Amino acid sequence: MNKLILLLSILAISISTVNAQEKLPIDISKSTIKWSCDYSFYFNGHYGIVTFQKGHFTKTNGKITGGTFTIDLNTITTQDMEEEGNKNLTAHLKDPDFFDVKKFPTATLEMKNVSYLETNKIRVEADLTIKGITKDVKFDATLNFDTKTMKTRFKIDRTRWGINYNSAVKDSAISDAIGFEVTIGI
């Protein structure tokens, strides 16, 4: 009987070791989110940054298999105009017309599925929550094991998350697409 208990204990430990998950916290100082939004019919637009509040990757059996990241929408800033213009647009982006930051101070991205295309290239299916609305997004990313970073670029249709300012006006209006260039470091 003791041998059976010992064998079952060793088996349980082995199984938990094989499927061990590890949380890898991100280094916010090495992580950036650059955003951009163009005009619908002009070669111009606006851009800026927003920062992570916290986050982590999930690593299973030596591979990234998921992650959860919180974006602090209070940090959103515009960088493409002179000081007064940047200040005014930044304030407008925090209004209910756009991100309604007083009511929804954060956005989250949860990686649901990670497929490896190559050793350092992944395809991610994730849930993105903005203004309390969760929608799926997909993007490819590159992993750099030397610098311990993941980089990606992708766009979303802002109207899927209820960000509808000027969406019905198509001439000289802002595009419905918001682009993101993201670097996440650990």
Q: pLDDT tens digits for the chain (186 residues)?
A: 565 454 445 545 544 445 689 999 999 999 999 999 988 777 788 999 999 999 999 999 999 999 999 999 999 999 999 999 999 999 999 999 899 999 999 999 999 999 999 999 999 999 999 999 999 999 999 999 999 999 999 999 999 999 987 655 554 578 889 999 999 999
Beta bridge partners of residue 133, listed in sequence order: 130
Q: Domain for residue 100, yes or no?
A: yes
Q: Domain for residue 162, yes or no?
A: yes
CATH classification at residue 47: 2.40.128.110
Q: Domain for residue 15, yes or no?
A: no
Task: Give the β-pairing of 32-38 and 133-144.
Answer: unpaired
Domain ranges, residue 37: 20-185
In contact, 120 and 148? CB cutoff 8 Å = no
Q: What is the pLDDT of residues 140-167, one digit of tens each?
A: 999 999 999 999 999 999 999 999 876 5
Q: How many independent structural domains does the chain possess?
A: 1
Beta bridge partners of residue 68, listed in sequence order: 56, 110
Q: Domain for residue 3, yes or no?
A: no
Q: Domain for residue 137, yes or no?
A: yes
pTM metric for this prediction: 0.86
